[in-house]
Structures are given as C-alpha cells and as structure tokens.
Amino acid sequence: MSSVPRINPSILAADFVNMQAELARIAAADFVHVDVMDNHFVPNLTFGPQMVERIQATSPVPLDVHLMIDDPDRWAPGYAELGAASVTFHLEAAREPLSLARRLRDIGARAGVAVKPATPVDALFELLDEFDQILVMTVEPGFGGQGFMPETMPKLRRLAEEARRRDAQVWLQVDGGISESTIAQAAEAGADTFVAGSAVFGNDDPDAAISALREIAAAHAHR
C-alpha cells in the first residue's frame, strides 16, 4: 500500500462541452477518473470507447477508467488497449474477475476491481495480489453529486488491514461524496486513492482544490 495520497478528479463533474479545457485545469491530479456507464449495470448513460480515446489523447494526466457496465469481460480489455493507465471493472458484473484482471495486466494497464456499498469484500482477501486497485464505492454507483456513505468505512478498514497483513501492494480507492469534509474519514480507514468530482471541478481553482484534498488525506493517512 502507498503512503502518498492520490487525487483523481472525476470528469462526471466537468463541463463536457469544454472537455479539453477542463482537463487542462487538473494538471496537478494524479489521474483523471473516467466513468463509463451503460444504462444497464447502472441507471445512467455516459460515453464509450470513442470519447475515452479522445480524452486519452488530450489529458495531461493518465486515465483511471471506471467501468460501470455489464459484461466487462468482453469490453474492459478494449479500454486498456486504448492506453488507459488503469481499468476498473465491477466485481458484481464480471463473470471471470481473475482472468479479466490478468488480461488487463497483460495488455499493460493496472487492473482494478470495484464493489458497490452493499457488496462484501471478504472474497477479495485471498486475491489481493491479483489486483492493482480495489475501489470501494462510497455512494451507489450511477450518478455524481451523491452524499458520502460512512457505513462503507468498516469494510474499507478491513481491506486495508488485510492488505497490510499480506504486504499486498494494492491501492485502495474510494469514489463518491469525497470532499474536504469527508476525505479524512476515508484516509483514516485506509484509502490512499480518492476520486473527487464537484469538490475539484466545482472550485474556481481545481489545482488548489486537489492540493488541499491531498494535504488532508496525507494528514489523516492510515498508519
């Protein structure tokens, strides 16, 4: 696990019409978080490979693609082939999560797995070395701007403790309702990678917002 907090702004909160300019505003970010939704796995529709390819071509920072889609076994490798640095699929949607994670790594992307708020994480304990990132959703996936769910923190804490016990080099990410008022809770529970949407893009100075979030997370990092 890493001790350096990563801040990944979510473009769900960006101005889609001016995407290139919006991406230029977050040069201080570690990654840009790209939510792909298919209106099946979650009740919302965003965009697909063509848009991700354009974001990849114009982003000043690497892409952290989060697939909220059915059949990631079929579709996820394509996002890795587009050059995304990290591709995360949902445990609830994948038929063969281990095979898919290995395929993503073979292509050259970091392999991530995400769990919804109600999904247990115990089954992942034996598999921590198979993933580069585990995303604990801190809202129900599908829409930006939702409130942070503190009841997801116990399972994040258990994941962090298990990763530490096994010396697993897996990043623990949280996504949903992350702001200056909630990031400390997630950092204390063990998260080291934070997706923030409106807390970044809603600020007049996104890079300053990123720095502030990073400082709070570092001050409250899980020891």
Q: Among all residues, which ones are annotated catalytic?
A: 35, 175
Position 168: which residue type? A
Please state, in angstroms and rounded to a whole number, the distance separating the CA atoms of residues 172 and 156.
Answer: 8
* Residue carrying structure tokens 């897996």: 170
The CB-side HSE value for 79 (13 A sphere, CA atoms) comes to: 34
What tokens were used for 67?
């697939």
Q: How far is CA 88 from the centre of its chain?
A: 7
Task: Catalogue the E-assigned strands of 38-168.
Answer: 63-68, 86-90, 110-115, 133-137
| Number of residues that this document lists for the chain | 223
Residue whose structure tokens are 């919804």: 116
Beta strands in the chain (DSSP E): 6-9, 32-37, 63-68, 86-90, 110-115, 133-137, 171-175, 193-196
